[in-house]
Amino acid sequence: MENILFLGNIGAGEILIIALVVLLFFGGRKIPELMKGLGKGVKSFKDGMNEVEKDLSVDSNESAKSDKK
């Protein structure tokens, strides 16, 4: 836990400074929009992963059925 994301020893002070820089850079109004877009991207990624897993399980079931014939 000491090397989170290979950033070294990052503490609460450093996280606070980063948050303040992001706030100054984007402004208070843009941050909710950014987080909303990030959430939609994560949801889309998860949906895509679930679709791939479903396709793989269907393909493996079909190949198992054809092997039995």
What's the pLDDT at 17?
92
Domain segments of the chain as ranges: 4-68
DSSP structural state of residue 3? T
Q: For residues 31 and 28, what is the distance between their CA atoms, to the nearest angstrom?
A: 6
Q: Of 14, 13, 31, nearest to 22 (Cα)? A: 31
What's the pLDDT at 36?
92
Per-residue confidence of the chain (69 residues) as pLDDT tens digits? 455 556 677 788 888 998 888 888 888 788 888 889 989 999 999 999 999 888 888 777 776 666 665
What's the pLDDT at 44?
95
What's the pLDDT at 69?
56
